[in-house]
Amino acid sequence: MTMKPLIVGLALLLAGPVVAADADTAAYDVVIRETAFGIPHIQADDMASLGFGAGYAYAAKNVCLLADALVTVRGERSMAFGPEAMVDLVGGPTRNLDSDVFFRAYLDDDRIAAGYAAGDADAVALIDGYAAGYNHYLAERGAGGLPMACRDVDWVRPASGGDLRRLLTERAIQASGGRFATAIATAAPPASDAATPPVPVSVPASGLVWPDDAVRLGSNAYALGGGLTADGGGLLLGNPHFPWQGNSRFFQMHLTLPGRLDVMGAALPPFPVPVIGFNRDVAWSHTVSGSQRFVLHELPLVPGDPLSYLVDGRRERMQPVTVTVPTAGAAPVTRTVYDTRFGMVVTMPGRGLAWTGRIAYALADPERHDTRLVEQWLRLATAASVGEIDRALADVRGTPWINTLAADRQGDALYADMTGVPAVSDDLAVRCAPSAAGAAIARAARLVVLAGDRAACQVVDRNGDRPDHGLMPADRMPRRMTRGLVFNSNDSHWLADPAAPLAGYARIIGPEAVPQRLRTRMGKRRLDEIVAATGGRVAPADLEAMLFDNRNLAAELVVDAMLSVCRVERGGPGERGEGDLASACAALAGWDRSSSPDSRGAALFREAWRRARAIDGLWAVAFDPAQPFTTPAVVDLANPTVASAMRRALAEAAAQLRVAGFPADIALAAVQQRRTGARTDAAGIPVPGGDEFEGVLNEMTFGPLGAGGYDATQIYGSSYIQLVHWNVGGPVARGLLTYGQSADPASPFHDDQTRLFADGQLMALPFRQAEIAADPGLHVIRLRAGRTDTGQP
C-alpha cells in the first residue's frame, strides 16, 4: 500500500514528453490514468481539456481507424485508395468514388457549423478538444511511429473540429441517408426526356428498400426496476451488437470534470463522451430502433423535363449539386446529383425506385443536419435519474436511430424510442398517399412513401430550419417508466414493456401485433425463468449468467422435431439413417442446445436451421398477437412436405460441414474463432454465441462456413457489455469490450478482453477513485498543451 503513491509519481515522470506549455497558459491540461485492459480514466477542469484527453486516448489505441474514417467523410477515398476500391459503409460495400460523391454532396459544412454554433457550447469545446488531442498524438508519434496500418501514408493528417463534426453527422444518418449512399451518388436523369413506363416493383423478400443484408447493427438491453431486483434498486444489462472491425468499434473511457461530470462507459469515435454508460445515479444503454427515420417522396415530373417536378401544380426545378472528386493517378471526376425541396433524389431501379421521364423519388432525412448528438449524450451523462434521462431525450432529440433503456439507483426503469422519426401521422400518410406504383413500393418494402406533388405533404425541410427538426413530437413517441421490466432486442416498441404493451402509435414508428424475432422471445423466456426462480428478486449475477449461458431458442423450438424426422424411415437414398443424414442426427442427439464454445453440434444446427427456417408452412401453431412470446410454434411434422424439407436441411448441413473438412459434431470453438494475428495465437480465440436467426442472446454473426471455419474477416455481435447496479457507495459495474480497446494487432490491448469473452467472464469496471488507484495496471500521464502545440488547424 505504501508503494502506490511512488508508482503513480514515477508514472507521471516517465509517461513520455510533456508539451512545453505553462500550466497557467495551457489551453489543454489533462490527466489520464490508464487501468488494466487499457481503459483511460480522463480528468480535467474544463470541457476542452476533457475532450483533448479523450481524443488523445482514442488515438493512442486506434489512430488508424479514426484517420481512415476521416478520409471517408472528407470524400477523399478515391484519392487515397483509388476510385474502384470498396469501402464498407452502413448500407454495404460501396465504391470509393460513389462514397466520395455522396459525402461531398450530402454533408453541408456551413449548415453543420451553424447548427453547432447555435447549440451547446460544452459540446463544441469537447469536439474541438478531441480534434486537438488526436492531432497532438499524431505530432508526438510522427508519421513513422504510427501502427503499420497507417504508417508513413499521406492520407493521415491532422483533423479539424469541422472534420469531426462531419463524422458525427455520418453517425446521425446511418439509418437514413447513409443507407442510400450509392442510390444518391449515382442518381441521374433518364437519357431521354420522353416519358417512359415505370419500372416494375422488385423488392427483396426482406422487405427493405436498402440492401439490408449488410446492415447488421443490433442490440439487447434490459432495464429492471426495484420491483424486480434483489436490492430494490435499478439493474441494467446492455449488450449492443456492433461490428468487431472498422470505425464502429466501441472504445471504453471514463471522464471526470470535478463537480460537473463523472461518467464511464463506451463511445464510438469521435464521440468525446460515452454513448452507453453509467454515472453515480443512473445507467443507460441503447438498441437499434425499429422506427423509420426517413420518408420517400414520389415526385411527378414535368413532361419532357426530368429535372423539374410539380408541387401544387407549379413547376419547381431540381437543384443540381456538382462535386469534383480527386482520384489517385487519374483526372478528377466531376458528378452532379440533385436536391429537391423534399430531399435528394435517389435511384434504385432494381428495387422499384427508378428515375423515369414521369416519376422520381426523393429522400426526406431529418438527420441530415443533426448537430445535437454530443449535447444529447452530455445530458445523459449528467442525469441523476431516469426521469432526467427522459426529459433530456425529449428536450434535445439527439438520439437519431436508437432506443434508450435506463435504470437508476432509486429503482426506476425507462424505455424510450425518441429517435429521428419524421412527423408522419397515419392520417397524413393517408392524405398524402402516392400513386398506385408508389403505394406498391410502400406495401412491399413496409415503408412510408408520400406524395411529392403537394407542399402540405412535406414533413422535413430541405434546409433543416424547422424548430421541431421535422421530427415526430416527443409526446407521440413511445416511452414507458416502470418499477418492473422494460427490454428491447430490435423489435419495435410494442412489447418493450411486456406487462403493458405500447400500442396505438403511428405506423412510421414501428409495427405492432407482429411476430417477434427469436432474440426477443428468448429474452422474455429467460427473464421469466429467472423471476420465477428468484421469487422476483433478480440479482446482477442472474443476468450475467443469462447472457453467457448461450441458450439457443431455435434449438429449443425445433430440435425435437428434427430428431423425430431422423427416426422416420423413408424409402429414398439418404433418408434411411445413412450418410450425411445419419451424421447430422447423431450430432443433434448429443448436442446441449447451446452456442457455447464446447458445444458439439451447434454449427451443424446453425446450418440446418439456416435452411429449415424458410420452409413453407413450417409452424403448426400460427402467430397469435395475444401470445407473442410463444408463437409461432410447433413444427408441422404432419405435413409430409415439411418433414421431407427438414430431413433435407439436416443432410445438406452435414454435407456442408463434411465438404469444409469438419465432422457434423465439431465443437463450435473449432470453427468460430477470432484470429487476431497477434503474438503467438495463430489458432485463434474461440468466440461464444449464435447467429441472429438462432435466438441466442449473446448474438455473434460471422461470414460463411469454409475450410477454415466461419469467415472471421467480418464479425458482428456482442461488443461493449455493461451490467450495472448500485450499493451505498455508488455504482457497481461489470463489463467487457469483447474485441479489446485497440484495433492494432500489435497492441497488448487488441485481444486481451476477447480471452475473457471466450471464458464467459465480465470484469469489474473501476469507477471509484480508490478502485482506480488500486488497479495493478495503473499508468498515469499528464498532458499540457498550448493551442498551437497541438497541430490544430
Catalogue the active-site residues: 219
Question: 288 to each of 209, 214, 366, 732, 782, how far by Cα in Å?
Answer: 18, 15, 17, 26, 37
Compute CA 472 distance to the chain's CA centroid, rounded to the nearest angstrom.
22
Give the integer Cα–Cα distance in Å for 367 and 170: 9
Helix ranges (DSSP H) in 549-639: 553-566, 579-590, 602-612
Residue environment code for 707-728, b if the CB has 16+ CB neighbours within 10 A, otherwise e: eebbebeebbbbbbbbbbbbee
Give yes or no for a cis peptide into 269 (omega within 30° of 0): no
Compute CA 297 distance to the chain's CA centroid, rounded to the nearest angstrom.
27
Q: For residue 750, give the DSSP letter.
A: S
Reported as half-sphere exposure (CB side, CA atoms, 13 A), residue 685 has a value of 21
Question: Taking a C-beta distance cutoff of 8 angstroms, is the pair 767, 1 a contact?
Answer: no
Question: 751 to each of 162, 442, 710, 738, how far by Cα in Å?
Answer: 33, 44, 18, 8
Give the integer Cα–Cα distance in Å for 250 and 58: 10
Give the integer Cα–Cα distance in Å for 320 and 338: 5
Instruction: Output the DSSP codes for 74-94.
Output: HT-HHHHH-TTSEEEETTEEE
In the block, residue with C-alpha cell 423515369: 356
Residue type, 320: P
Give the integer Cα–Cα distance in Å for 582 and 607: 16
Of 7, 10, 61, 76, the C-alpha closest to 326 is: 76
Query: Do the strands 295-302 and 449-451 form a parallel or antiparallel pair, or are they unpaired?
Result: parallel
